[in-house]
């Protein structure tokens, strides 16, 4: 028993040290592109930490969004900003300022660490309440229960935030390009190996994404995880030139983008009539309703995430 504990502790210590080392390197390295590569590695390691914290649901989201999609977003930005004039030495703060900043940041970290150590010992938890009320939602995964039922309003508003962010990104387009295709022109002759991968991977990815949505009702997984995977697969096809991004003016695209929040709101409003409040589900239909919302959400999440990475419209569709 003690051996197992020691090994587990050594594993966790190694993991924590590696995460911090990669984070430090990401901050101090000179080259931006290399720092982003470090950031993707960081995201992957943080997903491992989430597994060690017994939160596989979060680990999936972190792996998909934290490392994967955010990484690709920042990589694209780093690549496109490469031709742009970088900061000069004069813009770096001086040594004194850096030392003072370092000391202040260390103080913030120390305060957080102290708070961490002084937390009350029988930790307060809502797990028993969640477990007690989970049966009324019909789903078996407590995280899905929290996201879709207990704190459904948070999830709904978060979807609205996603759509607002996309509107924000699109509104950065030049007037002449409004309604056009997002992202820069891709070269016409992508690598054959890349095309092969982009043909092979998306079907598998779609199956796994749908599987994660389906299993998310009772096991770790759900609309976020599935949607992020679908977004990654769509982006992969776009990178290989197999799928053109849709013009942002497309009505069908906009329908997909708002489908998730719209279905959520509609079922939420129906809650006034069928149950007793906004976003309340009638008990007998709770699980099917949650799954319907999740399917719509997954499609909207996938489309929104991919288009957020693709960026504002920059060229008109070829006519």
Partner 1 sequence: MAEFLLAAAGFVLAMVALGLVRILRGPAIADRIMAAQLLGTGGIATLLLIAPATGMAATTDVALSLALLAAFASVAFVQGTSGPDDPEATEGR
Partner 2 sequence: MSETTLFGLGASALVGLGLYGFVIHPEPLRKLLAFNLLVSGVFLLFGVIARRGAAVGMGGDPIPQALVITGIVVAFAGSALAVGLLLRLGQKTGRATLRDVPSPPGDGTTS
Partner 3 sequence: MSLALDILSVLAISAGAFFFLAGTVGLLRFPDALTRLHALTKADNLGLGLVVLGLLPRADGALGALKLIVVWLLVLVAGATVSQLIARVAQRAGPAP
The closest alpha carbon to 227, from 153, 150, 158, 149, belongs to 158
Options 87, 119, 193, 273; binder of partner 3; rule CB under 8 A: 193
Tokens of 193: 């190996």
138 binds, among partner 2, partner 3, partner 1, none (CB under 5 to 8 A by kind): none
Shortest separation between residue 224's beta carbon and partner 2, angstroms: 6
Does 217 interact with partner 1 (rule: CB under 8 A)? Answer: no
CA angle 277, 283, 285 (to 5 degrees): 105
User: In this structure, are residues 300 and 234 in contact, taking their beta carbons and an 8 Å threshold?
Assistant: no
Options 51, 160, 210, 274; binder of partner 1; rule CB under 8 A: 51
Neighbouring CB atoms inside 10 A of 208's CB total: 16
Stretch that binds partner 3, among 71-79, 100-108, 156-164, 199-207 (CB under 8 A): 199-207
DSSP 8-state class, residue 277 = S
Q: Which is nearer to partner 2, 161 or 200 (CB)?
A: 161
Q: Is the dihedral of CA 238, 241, 242, 245 positive or negative?
A: positive
User: In this structure, are residues 218 and 291 in contact, taking their beta carbons and an 8 Å threshold?
Assistant: no
Shortest separation between residue 307's beta carbon and partner 2, angstroms: 9
Does 191 interact with partner 3 (rule: CB under 8 A)? Answer: yes
Does 194 interact with partner 3 (rule: CB under 8 A)? Answer: yes
User: In this structure, are residues 249 and 179 in contact, taking their beta carbons and an 8 Å threshold?
Assistant: yes
271 binds, among partner 3, partner 1, partner 2, none (CB under 5 to 8 A by kind): none
Stretch that binds partner 1, among 64-72, 97-105, 145-153, 243-251 (CB under 8 A): 64-72
Q: Which is nearer to partner 3, 59 or 134 (CB)?
A: 59
246 binds, among partner 1, partner 2, partner 3, none (CB under 5 to 8 A by kind): none
Shortest separation between residue 98's beta carbon and partner 1, angstroms: 21
What lies within 8 Å, CB to CB, of 297 at 6+ separation is 155, 159, 223, 227, 260, 263, 264
CA distance 248 to 207: 27
Stretch that binds partner 1, among 156-164, 230-238, 254-262, 265-273 (CB under 8 A): 230-238
**What is the residue-wise DSSP string for 188-228?**
SS--HHHHHHHHHHHHHHHHHHHHHHHHTTTSS--HHHHHH
145 binds, among partner 2, partner 1, partner 3, none (CB under 5 to 8 A by kind): partner 2
User: In this structure, are residues 222 and 57 in contact, taking their beta carbons and an 8 Å threshold?
Assistant: yes
Stretch that binds partner 1, among 14-22, 125-133, 159-167, 290-298 (CB under 8 A): 14-22
205-234: which residues touch partner 3 (CB under 8 A)? Answer: 208
CA distance 23 to 20: 5
Shortest separation between residue 37's beta carbon and partner 3, angstroms: 12
User: In this structure, are residues 241 and 250 in contact, taking their beta carbons and an 8 Å threshold?
Assistant: no
Site of interaction with partner 3 (CB under 8 A):
191, 193-194, 196-197, 200-201, 204, 208
């Amino acid at each position: 028993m003690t051996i197992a504990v020691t090994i587990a502790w050594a594993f966790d210590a190694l993991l924590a040290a590696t995460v911090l080392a990669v984070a430090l390197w990401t901050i101090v390295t000179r080259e931006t592109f290399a720092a982003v590569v470090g950031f993707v590695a960081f995201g992957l390691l943080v997903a491992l930490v989430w597994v060690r914290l017994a939160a596989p649901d979060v680990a999936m989201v972190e792996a998909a969004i934290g490392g994967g999609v955010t990484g690709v977003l920042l990589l694209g930005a780093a690549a496109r900003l490469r031709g742009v004039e970088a900061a000069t030495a004069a813009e770096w703060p001086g040594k004194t300022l850096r030392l003072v900043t370092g000391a202040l940041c260390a103080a913030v970290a120390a305060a957080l660490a102290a708070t961490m150590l002084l937390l009350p010992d029988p930790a307060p938890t809502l797990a028993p309440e969640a477990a007690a009320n989970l049966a009324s939602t019909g789903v078996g995964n407590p995280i899905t229960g929290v996201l879709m039922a207990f704190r459904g309003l948070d999830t709904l508003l978060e979807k609205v935030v996603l759509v607002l962010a996309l509107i924000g990104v699109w509104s950065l387009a030049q007037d002449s390009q409004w309604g056009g295709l997002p992202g820069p022109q891709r070269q016409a002759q992508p690598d054959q190996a890349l095309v092969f991968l982009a043909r092979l991977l998306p079907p598998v990815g779609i199956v796994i994404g749908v599987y994660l949505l389906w299993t998310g009702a009772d096991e770790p997984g759900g609309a976020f995880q599935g949607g992020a995977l679908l977004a990654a697969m769509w982006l992969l096809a776009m990178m290989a030139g197999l799928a053109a991004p849709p013009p942002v003016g497309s009505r069908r695209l906009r329908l997909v983008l708002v489908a998730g929040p719209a279905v959520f709101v509609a079922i939420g409003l129906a809650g006034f009539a069928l149950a007793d409040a906004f976003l309340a589900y009638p008990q007998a239909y709770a699980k099917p309703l949650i799954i319907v919302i999740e399917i719509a959400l997954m499609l909207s999440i996938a489309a929104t995430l991919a288009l957020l990475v693709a960026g504002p419209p920059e060229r008109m569709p070829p006519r």
